[in-house]
């Protein structure tokens, strides 16, 4: 922009060239209403240039699918819109993701990441030692029951490209004592496939001997357990170490989703180093 004309200091008006044939008239006062009164056309142009709201009416900034203020090109647009406009950043269409849970998983730590992954084009499936349904936990009480897509007895790690381990206290405490669940988890690390774990989920990682030498995070009460298992525990909303993404709690889900989707996209062309 260039200043093309300026009146006396008494009026405080000035013109700004906005293009080859567009000139806007403004005042030098800080009052927004004053600027609009002097140059309503310029004000209308500013309003038209505002980015449209998220195309998903149910999304709100700060949810698992809408990036918080400051995320590149957010401007009220949801993460899914951002991904669709930037396929090189997060192309995960058709990526198959196993969500390993049993009764007592923290419900929001399954449903919100799953919604973000499904909307980004991934294929998600609940894998569980339970045969038909698995019941969630809503912070302080039992939550909803969800259908099991693949019983653990029938699931094979080579059927999936990545693994998601939601938290909750009851769920990972049971999974880490289930030899098949531990073996299923360990197979993803041995194959170098992406793994994401939130809250108490890393309990299962410890049992799978997958945290030694890794930098990660979790619910704070797991800090000692992870340290004893050889991990470098940090207090951050999301941590990526090789093929592993971890987060601390439900409040971190937006960052957890972004990190997971980015990792999946990066891993799509080949196996990311463990």
Sign of the torsion angle spanned by Cα atoms 81, 84, 85, 90: positive
Residue 49 CB coordination number (10 Å) = 7
If pLDDT is split at 50, 70 and 90, which confidence band does 48 have? Answer: very low
pLDDT single digits (tens) 122-131: 999 999 999 8
Predicted confidence (pLDDT) at residue 86 exceeds the cutoff of 90: no
Largest CA distance in the chain: 82
Residues 6 or more apart whose CB falls under 8 angstroms from that of 202 comprise: 165, 172, 211, 216, 218, 222, 226, 231, 246
Smallest Cα–Cα separation from 230: which of 210, 212, 208? Answer: 212
* Predicted pLDDT of residue 90: 64
In the chain, where the domains are located: 2-49, 55-86, 90-267
* Predicted pLDDT of residue 269: 58
Q: Which residues pair with 196 in a beta bridge?
A: 164, 245
Structure tokens given for 203:
């309990």
* Predicted pLDDT of residue 31: 47
* Predicted pLDDT of residue 268: 76
Q: Calculate mean pLDDT across residues 229-233.
A: 98
| Percent of all residues in the chain with a pLDDT value above 70, rounded to a whole number | 65
Structure tokens given for 32:
């927004």
The mean pLDDT of the chain is: 79
pLDDT single digits (tens) 137-159: 999 999 999 999 999 999 999 99
Nearest-angstrom CA–CA distance, 68 and 191: 33
Model-level pTM? Answer: 0.68
Sign of the torsion angle spanned by Cα atoms 56, 62, 64, 65: positive
pLDDT single digits (tens) 109-118: 999 999 999 9
Please count the CA atoms within 13 angstroms of the CA of 147 that sit on its side-chain side. 3
Q: Calculate mean pLDDT across residues 35-64.
A: 43
Class of the CATH domain delimited by 90-267: alpha beta
Catalytic residue annotation:
199-200
* 3-state secondary structure at position 140: coil
């Amino acid at each position: 922009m260039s200043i093309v004309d300026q009146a006396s200091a008494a009026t405080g008006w000035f013109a700004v060239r906005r293009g080859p044939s567009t000139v806007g008239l403004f005042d030098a006062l800080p009052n927004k209403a004053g600027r609009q009164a002097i140059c309503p056309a310029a004000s209308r142009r500013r309003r038209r240039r505002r980015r449209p709201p998220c195309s998903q009416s149910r999304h709100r900034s700060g949810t698992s699918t809408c990036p918080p203020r400051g995320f590149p090109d957010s401007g009220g647009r949801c993460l899914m819109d951002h991904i669709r406009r930037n396929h090189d950043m997060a192309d995960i269409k058709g990526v198959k993701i196993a969500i390993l849970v049993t009764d007592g998983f923290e419900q929001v730590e399954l449903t919100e990441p799953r919604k973000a992954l499904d909307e980004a084009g991934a294929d998600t499936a609940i894998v569980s030692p339970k045969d038909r349904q698995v019941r969630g936990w809503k912070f302080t009480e039992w939550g909803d029951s969800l259908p099991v897509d693949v019983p653990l007895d029938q699931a094979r790690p080579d059927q999936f490209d990545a693994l998601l381990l939601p938290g909750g206290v009851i769920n990972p405490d049971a999974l880490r004592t289930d030899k098949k669940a531990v073996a299923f988890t360990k197979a993803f690390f041995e194959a170098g496939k992406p793994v994401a774990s939130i809250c108490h989920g890393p309990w299962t990682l410890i049992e799978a001997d997958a945290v030694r030498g890794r930098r990660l995070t979790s619910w704070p009460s797991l800090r000692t357990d992870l340290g004893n298992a050889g991990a470098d525990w940090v207090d951050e909303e999301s941590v990526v170490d090789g093929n592993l993404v971890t987060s601390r709690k439900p409040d971190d889900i937006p960052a957890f989703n972004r990190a997971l989707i980015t990792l999946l996209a990066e891993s799509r062309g080949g196996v990311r180093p463990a």
